[in-house]
Structure 1
Amino acid sequence: METSVDTSVKRCEAWWLGRVAYHKAWQLQNRLADLIAAGKQLPTLLLLEHPPTYTIGRMGNRDHLLLDDQRLAERNLTVVEVDRGGDITYHGPGQLVGYPILPLAPVDWQGGVLGKADFVGYLRRLEACLIDALGQLGVRAIRRDGLTGVWVEENREEDAPAYAKVASIGVKIDSRGITRHGFALNLATDMEYWEGIVPCGLEGVRMTNLVDYIAGATHSMAVLDAIVEAFGRVMGYEMVFSKEPEAGWQRLGLSE
């Protein structure tokens, strides 16, 4: 991972890493971002899940955490303040987390703050990846104006259909134009954890799991393959996907 990489083909490595502690994955993202900025690592998509964790983004409101310290300890929940956009969300077993570490800056980039259009465009492309993948799996998902994330319609028969959020998105783009953080797709999470927060700071929002729409929506290869295929198609990458966590741990330096 310390040698220069061939950039003649727009290629992205994808790694399924299994369960990884939140801070460990965050450190890995930062290290990969440094290597990608230096031309020593291909763009990378990390796929994993976390132990039960609440994360609060830069726009987060601590009041949206509804559990006190005692209840957090009783449920073995960690709270982490992070440098992504957005408010508070939950990560835990039964959720597929994707962290794309990508160079978004143009070739003549001089550093600084990426334009709003580029930032928002990246968010929309992440939503499109998930909507595309869920469509492959037989689930119709949508984006909603003014609400970052991916939603499914709960009741299509009423005049005013209700929507539930199946995926959350929060990202960071650093001064070199390298992305961090990403998306969290609920496959089969314990919904009681969502009751401990105001998800994404949206009062009254209802979270849902993919398993409520298709049977067996766990970390199956079908789900992972759909995500990776859609990511490559929408982002314009040739994907190289490794499905063995042990290989990822060794390649990316995650071993203890």
Structure 2
Amino acid sequence: MNKNVILQDLGLKDYKETWDFQELLFQKTLDIKIKNRKEDSRLPTPNHFIFVEHPHVYTLGKSGDIANLLVDESVLAEKGAKFYKINRGGDITYHGPGQIVGYPILDLDNFFTDIHKYLRFLEEMVIRTLAEYGVKAERSKGETGVWLDVGTPFARKICAMGVRASRWVTMHGFALNVNADLGYFDLMIPCGIKGKAVTSLNVELGKQEVDLNEVKGKLLKHFEALFEAEIIEQEKTSA
């Protein structure tokens, strides 16, 4: 099993361009798996971890309800935001500058074949990272992602998640609010869950800005520990 994971940081990158890049890596891995099955071969399958920030964009998962976007696309255009219907699970999500988006494109045959465990490990990676900043984060029963003050009137989401998997190959991933402009969340019902607020790490710490690269480093450290993986860094690149 190949537990090496190739890291690429795309910086600020258009959502659709990044989605296309994900699809390319995803399909290449699937092609290797299909070839292995047909030819009874054992070619190793690669694993990738993409970090990216997106310009303002709203995405709707395949099981989502468009009614959870509270404005039409003309209002989004005025706000400089785009909108896409996409092929991950989950409902509506916002991405924007100041948010760390992570897309692990893993062959889970290299780790464990359990999507539930995969999602819990991604959540745990974020929970452990936030703990290093003194922020107590947790899961909310029946709601994927990472939350603060679960079970209280002040419950708020700090990290959204939505993934796609085929033949145990994953794509899409998580979006952690670090220095996010929370005003953009007012244009939707986050993840289709009414009555729940959204927060960002800088707000919780009372800081104007948190070092994004520092947070990325902590996320990767916990990812490596949980998945028993080894990150192989590449230089900052473009999709």
Shorter chain as normaliser: what TM range?
0.7 to 0.9
Task: State how far apart, in whole Å, the 2-side matches of 1:131 and 1:106 are.
Answer: 24
| Aligned partner of 2:6 among 8, 13, 37 | 13
Q: Which residue of structure 2 aligns with residue 162 of structure 1?
A: 154
Residues 17-44 of structure 1: per-residue CA shift (max 9 Å, x gap): 1111111111111111123332576311
Q: Which residue of structure 1 aligns with residue 125 of structure 2?
A: 129
Q: Give the secondary-structure state (helix, strand or coil) at the position aligned to 1:211.
A: helix
Moved over 4 A (4+): none
Q: Which residue of structure 1 aligns with residue 177 of structure 2?
A: 186
Q: CA deviation at 1:172?
A: 0.2
Q: CA deviation at 1:76?
A: 1.6
1:206 aligns to 2:202 (yes or no):
no
Aligned partners of 2:127 and 2:137 also within 8 Å: yes
| Aligned partner of 1:35 among 28, 46, 61 | 28
Q: CA deviation at 1:160?
A: 4.0
Q: CA deviation at 1:69?
A: 2.6
Aligned partners of 1:43 and 1:102 also within 8 Å: yes
Give, as a single letter, the amino acid of the residue that structure 2 aligns with 1:135: A
Aligned partners of 1:217 and 1:223 also within 8 Å: no
Q: Give the secondary-structure state (helix, strand or coil) at the position aligned to 1:192.
A: helix
TM-score, normalised via structure 1 length? 0.82
1:232 aligns to 2:224 (yes or no):
yes
Give, as a single letter, the amino acid of the residue that structure 2 aligns with 1:231: F
| Aligned partner of 1:47 among 51, 66, 79 | 51
**What are the within-5 Å matches in structure 2 for residues 135-174 of structure 1?**
135-153=131-149, 160=152, 162-174=154-166
Q: Give the secondary-structure state (helix, strand or coil) at the position aligned to 1:31.
A: helix
Aligned partners of 1:94 and 1:218 also within 8 Å: no
Q: Give the secondary-structure state (helix, strand or coil) at the position aligned to 1:42.
A: coil
Q: Which residue of structure 1 aligns with residue 73 of structure 2?
A: 69
Task: State how far apart, in whole Å, the 1-side matches of 2:216 and 2:110 are.
Answer: 29
Aligned partners of 1:228 and 1:241 also within 8 Å: no
Q: CA deviation at 1:60?
A: 0.5
Q: How many residues align?
A: 227
Residues 105-142 of structure 1: per-residue CA shift (max 9 Å, x gap): 479xxxxxx7xxx2222111110111111122332211
Give, as a single letter, the amino acid of the residue that structure 1 aligns with 2:138: I
Give, as a single letter, the amino acid of the residue that structure 1 aligns with 2:18: A
Q: Give the secondary-structure state (helix, strand or coil) at the position aligned to 1:193.
A: helix
Task: State how far apart, in whole Å, the 1-side matches of 2:129 and 2:139 are.
Answer: 14
Q: CA deviation at 1:213?
A: 2.4
Give, as a single letter, the amino acid of the residue that structure 2 aligns with 1:32: L
Q: Which residue of structure 2 aligns with residue 120 of structure 1?
A: 116
Unaligned 5+ segments in structure 1 are 1-6, 108-113
The change in CA–CA distance for 1:179 and 1:138 in structure 2 (over 3 A counts) is same
Q: CA deviation at 1:238?
A: 1.1
Q: Which residue of structure 1 aligns with residue 100 of structure 2?
A: 96
Task: State how far apart, in whole Å, the 2-side matches of 1:17 and 1:106 are.
Answer: 24
Give, as a single letter, the amino acid of the residue that structure 2 aligns with 1:164: R
Give me the CA root mean square deviation: 2.2
Q: Give the secondary-structure state (helix, strand or coil) at the position aligned to 2:63.
A: coil
Task: State how far apart, in whole Å, the 1-side matches of 2:190 and 2:149 are.
Answer: 18
The change in CA–CA distance for 1:225 and 1:216 in structure 2 (over 3 A counts) is farther
